[in-house]
Structure 1
Amino acid sequence: MKNKPDDRSDNVDKIQYNIDKTIQNYEIAEEVIGKTDNEKTKKDLSEKNKRREESLNNMRKEIKDEAMYKKNEYK
């Protein structure tokens, strides 16, 4: 059984999609935090948003790496 070749052609698009969705979720959570009086909900959403911030930083690094790979591939 042969392995499929590494197809990285749409990685930047996939990562960008994930970044966009994570930002949307972050903003929705911030809205809920602003509207709710439930302290547990606020705490839970704040913790999720901290993790989202970390994920966003990692995805942004990854998208830069993929863009550099693509740039070097087409030289």
Structure 2
Amino acid sequence: MQPLETIPTPADLRTLLPHGAISSIARSLKMSHAAVSKALQKAKPAHPAVAQAVRLIKEAGSQAVQHDLNLLNQ
């Protein structure tokens, strides 16, 4: 298995976030849910919502699970 840093992130980070994470990120950054969702869709690393989402994804292990599922589908 590749280290997490070498696994390409999907274009839409929302698919890897745990349930309710977008609302949590929006509250913590005092942004609207729609603004956070749009930022995650664009996945620009400099955006604070994206940085927080990546942190949550790594904590939840979602990226590793997605990678494993992709390997099974090949």
Q: Larger relative contact order (C-alpha < 8 A, sep ≥ 6)?
A: 1
TM, length-normalised to structure 1:
0.31
